[in-house]
Amino acid sequence: MESDHDVAKERDQLKLLLDVSRQVINNFDVENLCHIILENLRKVMDCDHSALFLPDKDPDYLFLYSYDFPESKGIIEIGKKLPMEGSNSGKAYRSGEIVLTNHLDLSEINNTVREIVEIEKLHASCFLPLINNDEKIGVLHVARKNLEPYDENEINFLRKIADQTAVALSTALDIQRVKESEERLHKEKTYLEDELTSSLHFGEIIGKSKKLKSVIEQIKAVAPTDSTVLIQGETGTGKELVARAIHNSSKRKDKSFVKLNCAAIPRGLLESELFGHEKGAFTGAIDKKIGRFEVADGGTLFLDEIGDIPPELQPKLLRVLQSQEFERLGSTKTISVDVRLVAATNKDLEGLVEQEQFRSDLFYRINVFPVELPPLRKRTEDIPLLCSHFAKIYSKKMKKEIKEIPDTVIQKLKDYAWPGNIRELQNVIERAVILMKDGTLTPVVPEIQHTDKMQNSTVTDLEEVQREHIKNILRKTNGVVGGPDGAAKLLGLKRSTLRSRMKKLGISRDDLG
């Protein structure tokens, strides 16, 4: 005759089966579904720990997706990988059979499992494969601290729970994959449209100057690799264009090119933009969001103005660059990606490192292959080609015919310092096409910043003043930068700071003659 305790236990177990059945019908949120099943399972079963393992991207591993263990000592972590070989979870998953353990022989299991068993003191365990329509979904694990093995009645009940859980998880995971795929496709479509629009701004890399040819050779060398690239140069020199050229010449060209301007996103939202967030992760997070790293999986992520990444976010960025793993805001689930990073900045990152505003380890991680873009004033022989290119774009767009660009106009454009670089030239040409009446293009150069090439001309641009001053000091030291008689000592700068500034200002030994 069954005792009142047995009757109550059987009633609770039946209630759990009904609850799981309802979850199959009504709950398509994977995390919530797992939480409900595991919490209720622990309450109606004689167990201290319940967990769900799912297959990892690496076929030799499972990972812990969810668990319920109120008395855990903290060694068990969501997302922790568990090798198939040498683990009972892996054995149950691969064989498709229930695995029971008691009085574990710790010498026969791997170190990860041994450590958990020894510290958490879990003895009797039951590992149940989750299978739905011959598809392996994962593994359900229950364990208790006492040595009493799970009996036949308990196993039969657990088998029913496993069958229901497999159906529920399979449905919820399918829906989650569809939603994430739709969101990813939507974002990829948005980025693709933005990329097509952006291509109208610069078209292809245009020019024949020696400095530009050097940049193109660097692009050809680094593009086929997966190495991180740091593009440095003044605002308007075409850093994004170079990033696109690297992506389009790489083996990732058929995948997404995703960009993010780190300076254009409020500090509080930048982490969410990069890594995504879960629903309810913060005020205003009314739905789950996929971040740029996830969207760029398999492709290239271009982080413009990377020098504006706030210090508190730099360790997380460093981690994802090193391990290709991260967590969304509000989630403990680790997401693995395969992303190539191309970064850009107009700031002196080495100077920021010295000022402790930018992590040195992050700087070295992104500075694997630096590409320095010359300012337009250093490649004036490219100005005629750029003028012709932009003129064709805007004349076609505005349905105007350009018959001539006078040589005198070209010379004036070549004499101008172009503090806004190619972007400023583009704007000047667009304005000239708008105002053109007789087919002759006569762009107007802003007189206030005009410079001519006479030796006695006055340099008004601040960077030009710095450039000339450093060059004069270097001439005095015969090009010697460091040491007691070097230019750095005379300027009161560290040697590394001076070299960084010379690089930013485009000063080389060839300029000292």
pLDDT tens column, 205-219: 888 899 998 999 999
Q: Which of 485, 449, 454, 491 is nearest to 472 (CA)?
A: 491
Query: What is the layout of strands, in order, in the sheet containing 257-261?
Result: 257-261, 300-304, 340-345, 229-232, 369-372
Task: From residue 245, give the alpha-carbon distance in Å to each of 139, 300, 344, 421, 485.
Answer: 45, 11, 14, 19, 43
Instruction: Give pLDDT, residue 201.
Output: 35
Distance between CA atoms of residues 245 and 204, nearest Å: 8
Query: What is the layout of strands, in order, in the sheet containing 124-132?
Result: 81-83, 61-68, 49-55, 135-144, 124-132, 99-101
* DSSP at 419: T
Q: Give the pLDDT confidence of 259-282 residue by residue, as tens digits.
A: 999 999 988 889 999 999 888 778
Instruction: Give pLDDT, residue 320.
Output: 95
Residues of the chain with pLDDT under 50: 1, 195-203, 448-460
Who's near 492: CB < 8 A, 6+ residues apart? none
Distance between CA atoms of residues 209 and 206, nearest Å: 9
Contacts of range 440-448, beta carbons closer than 8 Å, 24 or more positions apart: 440/403, 440/404, 440/405, 440/406, 441/387, 441/391, 441/402, 441/404, 441/405, 441/409, 442/406, 442/409, 443/387, 443/409, 443/413, 445/412, 445/413, 445/415, 445/416, 446/416
Instruction: Give pLDDT, residue 287.
Output: 79
Instruction: Give pLDDT, residue 93.
Output: 94
* DSSP at 404: B
